[in-house]
């Protein structure tokens, strides 16, 4: 399969659709349609989950009632199997909590004329230090086997700076 030349539009469109559904409690359950029953993986704040049922159990267990989100950047890369690697930098606030930066990475895999979420990794940009912390950053690698070692096929780096007033 060839590289998908529409990767940037696919990435940005997916993020808009995903967060529209996620951020509306009445629509959140429909996210299950974006995950595969067996081959989707999620890492949510270090907790590993596999399959749409377990992923949706986690998403439905989140206790907040209201979420406000600002997406600062969406970086996408085409993958050699026709999929799309997406990194998101943003800031969110749940209920009356303080706003926090977050990073989220998705790997979309082609299925027919559409995609499903094969990998989803979410992490709040929290730092447990007393001094002025350095800027958070996110870097995602996709490694491919090469003999008895690996090589980096994809690398996305984003400094966690929010350019907003």
Q: Please identify which residue in the block is written with the tokens 């008895």.
A: 148
158 in the Ramachandran plot: left (φ > 0), alpha (ψ -120 to 50) or beta?
Answer: beta
pTM, full prediction: 0.83
Determine whether domain 6-126 maps to CATH 3.10.450.50: yes
- For 24-62, give one letter per residue: b (16+ CB within 10 A) or e: eeeebeebbebbbeeebbbebeeeebebbebbbeebeee
Helices then strands, each counted (H, E), the chain: 2, 8
Residue 165 has pLDDT above 70, yes or no: no
114-154 pLDDT per residue, tens? 999 999 999 987 655 556 555 665 666 666 666 777 656 66
User: What local confidence, expressed as pLDDT, does residue 99 receive?
Assistant: 87
13-63 pLDDT per residue, tens? 999 999 999 999 899 999 999 999 999 999 999 999 999 999 999 999 988
Looking at residue 95, what DSSP letter applies? T
Query: Residue 19: helix, strand or coil by DSSP?
Result: helix
């Amino acid at each position: 399969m060839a590289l998908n030349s529409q990767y940037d539009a696919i990435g940005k469109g997916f993020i808009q659709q995903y967060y529209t559904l996620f951020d509306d409690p009445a629509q959140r359950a429909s996210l299950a349609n974006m995950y595969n029953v067996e081959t989707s993986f999620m890492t949510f704040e270090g907790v590993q989950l596999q399959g749409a049922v377990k992923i949706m159990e986690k998403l439905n267990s989140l206790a907040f009632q209201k979420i406000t989100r600002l997406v600062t950047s969406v970086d996408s890369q085409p993958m050699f199997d026709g999929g799309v690697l997406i990194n998101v930098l943003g800031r969110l606030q749940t209920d009356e909590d303080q706003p926090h930066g977050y990073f989220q990475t998705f790997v979309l895999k082609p299925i027919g004329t559409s995609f499903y979420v094969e990998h989803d990794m979410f992490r709040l940009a929290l730092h447990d230090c007393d001094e002025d912390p350095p800027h958070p950053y996110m870097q995602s690698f996709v490694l491919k086997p090469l003999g008895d070692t690996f090589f980096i096929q994809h690398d996305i780096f984003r400094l966690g700076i929010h350019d907003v007033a």
